[in-house]
Structure 1
């Protein structure tokens, strides 16, 4: 079994296909485990993409479910790619558990919507801004670890740019006045935001300082992820203290957060309004 570094989208899709195949066959976890001499925990871990996919186990599961052969053949053919480590594998040692769980989703999302109540969203941060945030958030971490975290963020951003996925961000204007690092770092960050938002796939709305309360006022950082495959539902990543986060794909919860995001974006000025310039050269 490979070291746990978070499942790729391909891995999640195969795991979900196996779960659906079991449910369509009308089989319970206990019955499957007993018939194939597995533990219920093993079957559950396979369906949750929490363990590498063993070709023999997958074959036996599909045969037990009497799954249509054409579809079973496609599932088996995708196992090699599903078991390949994700591009983020080299950084697995510095990723918190919640990020290992969601990075495969983010790396394949077609649409990413972000709210941050106090800072520039991480996918839009410059290296200097990101390093300054790391220094404040993790002052006890060795400089080498903080540097690797910043390097990992740059890799996330590069993959996002290569895929040209849609990014829609919402922040309060106060985030652009908060001096992270130094005035020079902030000037660089603001210039980077202007360049980023000139691209057709990136939108940034800024809630003015004079605006009243809105649906996300006081809410923690929020990221909504939409996948281009029907097997995987939308996910929400809700920030917590100290950079921790909760990841959920519960439809009711994600829908509720989506409604809050829609309402807050509707209350903000339209995209394309020039960014404030609190740090002129």
Structure 2
């Protein structure tokens, strides 16, 4: 089987999950290869996402690794198969690979959650708001690159529409609502859009008011994507040098707690809409 030079984020995650299964079994890659009747390089290529793995192969590996969690194994098996081109592939030669991986994670998620302090979440941004943010990127983007990023961000929002939209929770600090990116008119339009989206049954918007004081996770923007089983959840941290994806068990546990504590300090959806409305009226 041909070796991939640039596996996608999902292919890398599949390989990482196979590695975790092997390590839980207490096997080295060499020992696993001997057990499976394979070369060590084949095991390594599977675990780095460089070669495809069938669903049946995943089940065979799980059997040899004595993994009893059938739900997890089936969830991993469902990640296999031929690579299907998602809409984000049209941006592969235009945008950084990490951004495309984010769209792929969102596409396959069963539930999405964002906790953010400085910006309105990307999935809830208007075109004008997004454009203003991308104009502030350092180093400066060319006008065509700004428009590519804007169109990509708006297309990501498709997960919130359609016949089976993904449930979404957005926890937004009041500071993000009061920042006038693009001026008062753009900000007002963004706030009204936020209120409209929060009325949808599958979208919950909760505001962390200034009055809530300090809270854990206040210094970062956090994106949490739930997989078919908790072990396949993903944390995405938006950083200036590019996105970072975390999936270690301890990391997932930490960020679940952070989200729970942030949500506990946030206003209820109705009070959040009222505060957003008040801020919009003040502009």
TM-score of the two chains, using structure 1 as the length reference: 0.78
The equivalent of 1:238 in structure 2 is 237
* 2:279 corresponding residue in structure 1: 278
Q: Is the 8 A contact 1:33 1:43 kept in 2?
A: yes
> Whole-Å Cα distance in 1 between the matches of residues 31 and 229 of structure 2?
30
Counterpart mapping for 1:263-274 below 5 A: 263-273=261-271, 274=274
| Range 95-104 or range 147-156, more displaced | 95-104
| Residues 3-41 of structure 1: CA deviation (Å, up to 9, x unaligned) | 736244xx57864775577679876312455753452xx
Greater Cα offset, 120-129 or 25-34: 25-34
CA contact (8 A) 1:226 1:234 kept: yes
User: Aligned residue for 2:215?
Assistant: 214
1:118-157 aligned within 5 A: 118-138=118-138, 140-157=140-157
RMSD over aligned CA atoms reads 3.6
Mapped partners of 2:78, 2:213: distance in 1: 51
Structure 1 residues without counterparts, runs of 5 or longer: none
> Number of residue pairs matched?
266
Distance in 2, Cα, partners of 1:173 & 1:260? 18
* Equivalent position to 1:36, from 28, 32, 38: 38
Displacement of 1:247 after TM fit?
Answer: 1.2
Distance in 2 between residues matched to 1:80 and 1:249, nearest whole Å = 18
Q: Quote the offset at 1:127 in angstroms.
A: 1.0
Cα distance per residue 1:50-93 (max 9 Å; x no partner): 324177xx86x959x879xxx9xx99x97984322333111123
Preserved CA contact (<8 Å) 1:21 1:62: no
**How far has the Cα of 1:251 moved from its partner?**
1.4
What's the CA shift for 1:105? 2.1
- Counterpart-to-counterpart distance in 2, 1:251 and 1:98: 21
Give the match's secondary structure for 1:266.
Answer: helix
How far apart are the structure 1 equivalents of 2:89 and 2:51?
14
Structure 1 position 276, deviation (Å): 3.6
Unaligned residue ranges in structure 2 (runs of 5+): none
Secondary structure, counterpart of 2:269 in structure 1 = coil
Note the C-alpha offset of 1:168: 0.8
Task: Answer 1 or 2: higher relative contact order, Cα 8 Å, separation at least 6.
Answer: 1
